[in-house]
Amino acid sequence: MKLNAVEEKIWRQVSQDLENERVASPDHVQRMTDWCQQLGPEQGADMESLVAGALVHDIGVLTDRKLHYLAGKPVAEKILRDAGLPEEKIAPALHVLESHSRYGGPDPASLEARVGQDADALEYIGAIGILRAVVRGLTDGSFNGRIGDFPDYLKNLLKKVEGTFHTEAARRIGTERIAYMRRFLERVESELGGKA
């Protein structure tokens, strides 16, 4: 993750605030921002707004995990202003935040918000997505911890992502990661069925 001076200030505050967060952890924010930096340029995104929005996208979990995409806006706005993000970049960055989640919030209405939503989705799938699903489910109570219930839990998570990518690059990467998850699910179901 390469950041300019303003983004470094945002990152310092966000990583400090999320230091003890297990789901919206600083490493998640870093990976999501990395995806934005990979996907954004080829789409022609305004990288200042996109990266700033990516860095603050999960700050609201500290206030309201379920509605973090709403709760985070005032906190993020202060972080962005304090860091010196140009005024005209703040609203677009906040739209990246409010529209990144597949669990609520407005549809992404800008190119930057669509890239941000794709970047967050790539963090939701693949091997890292499986690990994050377990941590998320145990943290927010959406997964009861019973291995026999895990296949249905993971299938429901996949339904949130499949067929929702906005950019071709994210769709290609996402298709491969989803295929991996499907193979993993087949193996779990096989083992649960008593097969080697």
CB neighbourhood size of 25 (10 A)? 18
Domain boundaries, the chain: 5-192
Return the ∠ at Cα 182 (arms to 30 and 149), rounded to 5°: 90
- pLDDT in 10s for each residue of the chain, 196 residues: 899 999 999 999 999 999 999 999 999 999 999 999 999 999 999 999 999 999 999 999 999 989 999 999 999 999 999 999 999 999 999 999 999 988 889 999 999 999 999 999 999 899 999 999 999 999 999 999 999 999 999 999 999 899 999 999 999 999 999 999 999 999 999 999 988 6
Integer angstrom CA distances of residue 99 from 36, 110, 132, 149: 14, 10, 20, 30
Backbone angles phi, psi at 71, to 5 degrees: -60, -25
Which fold would CATH assign to domain 5-192? Hypothetical protein af1432 (1.10.3210)
**The 3-state secondary structure of 151-193, one letter per residue:** HHHHHHHHHHHCCCCCCHHHHHHHHHHHHHHHHHHHHHHHHHC
Please state the separation of Cα 44 from the chain's center in Å: 20
CA distance 50 to 113: 7
